[in-house]
């Protein structure tokens, strides 16, 4: 609501040329991302849809064999979709307690000094390049899992889940922490005033109040995990068989696209199929983000923080 | 405002043109050919300081696509060009010309702890198509076979599929890896693993298997005694000219071929 007076200030009639130009430049910059998004969506549809002339959408989504380079080729991406969901679910199991737990600690329990150390460290996790996570997975987690669970091969869905979970933790933590921060202090004071202790206040007042914000955090964390490419390419194993357990090597959608795009002849069926996978991935993450947005909007309304 | 934009666009175009017009060679394509391309480019630039060669990987198809689009001068490929690509090239007025720059042998590799020393073509095919899943069935220990393959669109996979599998489908539970190094790395870490890589990528961390009783080596690949071998290509648009011609000639020369040998491939001379 503070914007309005500012706008009036800049909109005064005697604008100079310089102001006009600056205003114009920033308008273009602001709309640039819209243009990029539109461009990406158009390309995805244009390059992805032709595959449905070869294979029906139903057979594409629910086919169990992915043999894109044979003749006749088979374009069934169910194993890839299931792989993506499997590693995302695994990542969720890892990042939910880690992310929400650290957010609760930071917001409710940590003193200022601990906060000053912990927050930047958690944020640092987010800035590590995914290829470095991948290396860590290949060199440390893979042999460890192989030995611990006596697996034939350590590159599997569990491996990818663990690492993706760690990678998604900073996203979940910082958004969940914001949500906890948004809970007005008066809520806590009211709770204490009626004699509730800290634990009761936390579990019965603060968390329910921040609940939808925390859900948003988790969904965005999932969105991060399902879209991650380099790490799963390196540690998930890359097998396109139907996954049966967390110990199976899997091939998430992103890994299939990244690994195969370089060698798929441009304009071939395989090429279009990879774009169609990207399209489906885009739709999935889009749904995640819309749901997150709806929940977070409801959350803000609930706390009376503008609609 | 419009004038400013026009000026900006013009400047950008001029800049791009300027870079293109200089004596640069852009080379792109197969990761298998990459070591040869990189090393020969380095040595060539040392001898010819005016030359500027940029080398990129990406895959055979990426290289050929770039050649057709005119964004590279030389496309490295570990397979010969496909008919569909030739048609596309023709429609854009590009006529790709193949230069064989070396031979590559594809070697079956296993973990050093594996007791198996060699496989027949049939055994290799059975393992990679899923008929055989335990090493004891091919004379090894009682251990589950973990088959590692390259991605189904890589040139190495294509050659392996044609030469060893006879076009049959790789078992769905094979681990598909994006690079030769990744295959070597998994095989070296996994006791039951079997994979295949280009001769140039075999290291001490893995054990190479005989194929049909023949050990892969430069001699056996060149004479054709070792059956899983293939030529490696550099494609140019028509007969190479100028700097590109000089470079291709260098790669084919005795010195260039020696570099290919040093990188683990089989020289033609």
| Ranges of each domain in chain B | 21-102+230-262, 104-223
pTM recorded for the entire structure: 0.76
- pLDDT tier at A13 (50, 70, 90 boundaries)? low
Q: What is the mean pLDDT of residues A230-255?
A: 93
Strand-pairing partners, residue B98, are B235
Q: How much is the mean pLDDT over chain B?
A: 87
| A65, A69, A138 ranked by CB distance to B153: nearest | A69
Q: Longest Cα pair distance anywhere in chain A, in angstroms?
A: 76
pLDDT at B178 (0 to 100): 81
pLDDT at B10 (0 to 100): 56
Cβ–Cβ below 8 Å for B175 and A258: no
Cβ–Cβ below 8 Å for A238 and B178: yes
pLDDT at B109 (0 to 100): 96
Q: Among B182, B215, B85, which Cα is nearest to A135's? A: B182
Phi, psi of B232 (to 5 degrees): -110, 140
In chain B, which among 77-106 make CB contacts under 8 A with chain A? Answer: 82, 84-85, 88
Residue A256 structure tokens: 């299939």
For B167-183, what is each residue's pLDDT tens digit?
Answer: 889 998 999 988 888 89
pLDDT at B9 (0 to 100): 56
pLDDT at A71 (0 to 100): 73
pLDDT at A2 (0 to 100): 45
> In which residue ranges of chain B is pLDDT below 50?
16-21
Q: What is the mean pLDDT of residues A214-221?
A: 91
Q: Which CATH architecture has domain B21-102+230-262?
A: 3-Layer(aba) Sandwich (3.40)
For A87-145, what is each residue's pLDDT tens digit?
Answer: 999 999 999 999 999 999 998 888 889 999 998 999 899 899 999 999 999 999 999 99
Q: Is the dihedral of CA B30, B31, B36, B37 positive or negative?
A: positive
Per residue, the 3-state secondary structure of chain B, as one string, reads CHHHHHHHHHHHHHHHHHHHHCCEEEEEECCCCHHHHHHHHHHHHHHCCCCEEEEEEECHHHHHHHHHHCCCCEEEECCCCCHHHHHHHHHCCCCEEEEEEEEEEEEEEECCCCCCCEECHHHHHHHHHCCCCEHHHHCCCCCECEEEEECCCCHHHHHHHHHCCCCCCCCCCCEEECCHHHHHHHHHHCCCEEEEEEHHHCCCCCEECEECCECCCHHHHHHCCCCCEEEEEEEEECCCCHHHHHHHHHHHCHHHHHHHHHCCCECCC
Contacts of A259 in chain B (CB under 8 A): 151, 176-178
State the Cα–Cα distance between residues B116 and B184, nearest whole angstrom.
17
State the Cα–Cα distance between residues B68 and B17, nearest whole angstrom.
19
For B29-67, what is each residue's pLDDT tens digit?
Answer: 988 898 899 999 999 999 998 889 999 888 888 899 999
10 Å Cβ neighbour count for B1?
10
- pLDDT value at A3 more than 50: no
Cβ of residue B190 closer than 8 Å to a chain A Cβ:
yes
Per residue, the 3-state secondary structure of chain A, as one string, reads CCHHHHHHHHCCCCCCHHHHHHHHHHHHHHHHHHHHHHHHHHHHHHHHHHHHHCCCHHHHHHCCCEECCCCCCEECCHHHHHHHHHHHHHHHHHHHHHHHHHHHHHHHHCCHHHHHHHHHHHHHHHHCCHHHHHHHHHHHHHHHHHHHCCCCCCCCHHHHHHHHHHHHHHHHHHHHHHHHHHCCHHHHHHHHHCCCCHHHHHHHHHHHHHHHHHHHHHHHHHHHHHHCCHHHHHHCECCCCCCCCCCCCECCHHHHHHHHHCCCCCCCHHHHHHHHHHHHHHHHHHHHHHHHHHHHHHHHHHCCCCC
The yes-or-no answer to whether B21-102+230-262 and B104-223 have a common fold is: yes
Q: What is the mean pLDDT of residues A23-46?
A: 93
Cβ–Cβ below 8 Å for A264 and B85: no
The single residue listed with the structure tokens 């499997």 is A86
CATH of domain B104-223: 3.40.190.10
Cβ–Cβ below 8 Å for B177 and A238: yes
Q: Among A99, A252, A253, which Cα is nearest to A161's? A: A252
Q: A67-302, superfamily in CATH?
A: MetI-like (1.10.3720.10)
Kindly report the nearest CA distance between residue A263 and chain B, in angstroms.
Answer: 5
Which of B8, B80, B151, B182 to substitute to test the interface with A, most A CBs within 10 Å?
Answer: B151
Residue A287 structure tokens: 């749904």
């Amino acid at each position: 609501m503070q914007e309005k007076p500012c706008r009036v200030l800049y909109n005064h009639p005697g604008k100079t040329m310089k102001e006009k130009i600056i205003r114009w430049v920033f308008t273009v910059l602001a709309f640039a991302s819209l243009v990029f998004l539109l461009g990406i969506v158009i390309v995805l549809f244009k390059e992805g849809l032709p595959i449905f002339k070869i294979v029906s959408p139903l057979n594409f989504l629910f086919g169990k064999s992915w043999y894109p380079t044979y003749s006749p080729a088979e374009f069934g991406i169910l194993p890839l979709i299931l792989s993506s969901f499997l590693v995302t679910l695994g990542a969720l199991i890892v990042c939910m307690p880690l992310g929400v737990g650290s957010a609760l600690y930071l917001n409710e329990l940590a003193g200022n000094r601990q906060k000053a150390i912990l927050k930047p460290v958690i944020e640092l996790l987010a800035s590590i390049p995914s290829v470095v996570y991948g290396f860590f997975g290949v060199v440390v987690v893979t042999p460890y899992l192989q030995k611990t669970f006596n697996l034939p091969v350590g590159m599997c869905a569990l491996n990818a889940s663990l690492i993706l979970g760690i990678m998604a933790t900073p996203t979940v933590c910082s958004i969940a922490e914001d949500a906890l921060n948004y809970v007005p202090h008066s809520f806590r004071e009211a709770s204490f005033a009626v004699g509730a202790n800290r634990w009761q206040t936390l579990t019965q007042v603060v968390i329910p109040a921040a609940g939808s914000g925390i859900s948003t955090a988790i969904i965005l964390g999932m969105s991060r995990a399902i879209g991650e490419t380099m790490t799963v390419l390196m540690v998930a194993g890359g097998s396109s068989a139907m996954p049966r357990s967390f110990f199976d090597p899997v091939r998430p959608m992103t890994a299939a696209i990244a690994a195969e795009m370089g060698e798929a002849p441009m304009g071939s069926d395989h090429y279009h199929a990879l774009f169609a996978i990207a399209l489906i991935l885009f739709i999935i993450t889009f749904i995640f983000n819309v749901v997150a947005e709806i929940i977070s909007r409801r959350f803000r309304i609930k706390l009376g923080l503008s609609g | 405002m419009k004038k400013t934009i026009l000026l900006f666009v013009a400047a950008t175009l001029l800049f791009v043109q300027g870079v293109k017009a200089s004596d640069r060679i852009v080379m792109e394509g197969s990761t298998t050919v990459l070591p040869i391309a990189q090393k020969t480019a380095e040595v060539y630039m040392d001898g010819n300081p005016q030359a500027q060669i940029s080398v990129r990987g990406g895959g055979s198809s990426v290289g050929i696509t770039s050649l057709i689009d005119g964004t590279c001068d030389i496309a490295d490929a570990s397979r010969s060009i496909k008919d569909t690509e030739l048609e596309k090239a023709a429609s854009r007025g590009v006529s790709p010309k193949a230069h064989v720059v070396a031979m590559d042998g594809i070697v079956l590799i296993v973990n050093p702890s594996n007791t198996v020393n060699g496989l027949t073509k049939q055994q290799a095919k059975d393992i990679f198509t899923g008929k055989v899943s335990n090493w004891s069935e091919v004379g090894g220990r009682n251990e589950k076979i973990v088959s590692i393959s390259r991605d189904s669109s890589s040139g190495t996979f294509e050659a392996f599929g044609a030469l060893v599998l006879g076009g049959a489908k790789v078992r769905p539970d094979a681990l598909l890896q994006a690079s030769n190094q990744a295959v070597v790395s998994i095989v070296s870490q996994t006791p039951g693993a079997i994979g295949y890589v280009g001769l140039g990528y075999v290291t001490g961390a893995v054990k190479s298997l005989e194929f049909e009783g023949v050990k892969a080596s430069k001699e056996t690949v060149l004479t054709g005694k070792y059956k899983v071998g293939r030529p490696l290509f550099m494609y140019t648009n028509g007969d190479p000219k100028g700097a590109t011609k000089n470079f291709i000639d260098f790669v084919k020369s005795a010195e260039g071929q020696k570099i290919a040998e040093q990188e683990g491939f089989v020289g033609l001379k």
